Amino acid sequence: MIAIARLAMASAIAVSFSFGAMAQDKPALRVGTLKQGSLTNLYAAKKAGLFEKNGLNVELIEFRNGNEAIAAQRGGSVDLVLTIPGTAMVAVERGFDLQLIVGNETSQASAPDTGSIVVRKDSNIKTLADLKGKTIAISGTHTQKTVAIQALLKRNGVGPNDFKFLEMPYASQVDALRAKQIEVVASLDPWTTLFRNSDFATILAYDYLESLPEQPIGGWYGRKEFVAKNQDAMKKFAQAICDSADYMAADKARARALIAEYTGLAADLVEQVPVNKWTCKINLPVWQKTADMMFEGGELQRPFKLDSMLAETANAYVVR
């Protein structure tokens, strides 16, 4: 009996050691997420087992908005968050220790795209030059989208002092434009698609696409100290994001079904929305042009060199 007990104890210790080794081999990451289409690839990676395939144990923590996610990261409640690159650049300039791990999404290479400038079909605004003296409703007035619009209008003879921005949530823009409460709105999908298919609105321009095609509109970031201490986990996470981009691109019907499932949007609407251009690649010249655009638009106070915020693991995904 004693021999049997000793054997059982030895087996238990071996099993315990085995599970401990497995836990060490599978780093745990807490990743912030939002219920929006651009993060469907993260949902898909979790559902399809792509994190596990790459040796990670990932917990997805959902937030109501990006500001909540960034605050949680600063407080240590989550390890990695997705944000639009222009916002991250401004945060770094202001002293935040963010590092770029891997890309997530870019604007499209051709129309239609997610970001849009929209007017009524019966409007006398027919070209971007006609926006001189107008007010544009937009969700936020200090964003990458605002500088993209400024850059695009400048090329068409409309300077930054020739028009105004008015803050208005995306969800309120449809009714405001329909009711002629505002002449121009700057929107994103799924509202861009709603406008594009409506009987009262027309797309005047696609601001992300036309200001800088395939500009980055999403990337994954971590705190510098955390990234440095978790290099293996960062490499595995980056590869999982690459795998998720391939997974979503391989079957557009499956991608649309996952977008509808994750966001709760109606399937018939999702059928008309362009599938996001997910990519883990960091096209350095395009990212740098985005930084330059942020500086020229006044959101960055001095020229920003993208290399300064690249994590070591990001170099594997940089296209120069």
pLDDT tens digits, 220-262: 999 999 999 999 999 999 999 999 999 999 999 999 999 999 9
Of the chain, the percentage scoring pLDDT greater than 70 comes to 92
Asked if 128 and 74 sit in the same domain, the reply is: no
Give the 3-state secondary structure of 42-87: HHHHHHCCHHHHCCCEEEEEECCCHHHHHHHHHCCCCCEEEECHHH
Domain termination site, one of 211, 229, 251 = 211
DSSP-derived letter for residue 221 is: E
Element (H, E) at 293: helix 284-296
Closest CA to 222 of 104, 53, 319, 102: 102
- Residue 11 covered by a domain: no
Mean pLDDT score, 289-304 = 97
- Residue 22 covered by a domain: no
How far does CA 305 lie from the centroid of its chain?
20
Asked if 90 and 206 sit in the same domain, the reply is: no
Domain termination site, one of 211, 239, 258 = 211
Asked if 259 and 291 sit in the same domain, the reply is: yes
What total of structural domains would you count in the chain?
Answer: 2
Asked if 68 and 141 sit in the same domain, the reply is: no
- Beta carbons of 29 and 79 less than 8 angstroms apart: yes
- Residue 82 covered by a domain: yes
Asked if 178 and 230 sit in the same domain, the reply is: no
Ramachandran angles phi, psi of 199, nearest 5°: -95, 5
Asked if 279 and 140 sit in the same domain, the reply is: no
Closest CA to 292 of 181, 178, 188, 150: 150
Asked if 102 and 137 sit in the same domain, the reply is: no
- Beta carbons of 188 and 143 less than 8 angstroms apart: no
Domain residues for the domain of 127 are 116-211
Task: Report the C-alpha gap between 155 and 157 in whole angstroms.
Answer: 6
Mean of per-residue pLDDT scores for the chain: 91
Asked if 185 and 100 sit in the same domain, the reply is: no
- Residue 198 covered by a domain: yes
For residue 162, what is the domain's CATH number?
3.40.190.10
Domain termination site, one of 211, 241, 270 = 211
pLDDT digits (tens, 9 = 90+) for 171-207: 999 999 999 999 999 999 999 999 999 999 999 999 9
- Beta carbons of 262 and 255 less than 8 angstroms apart: no
Residue-wise burial string across 231-267, b where 16 or more C-beta atoms lie within 10 A, e elsewhere = eebbbbbbbbbbbbbebbeeeeeebbebbbebbebee
Report whether the peptide linkage leading into residue 190 is cis, meaning its omega lies within 30 degrees of zero: yes
- pLDDT for residue 317: 97
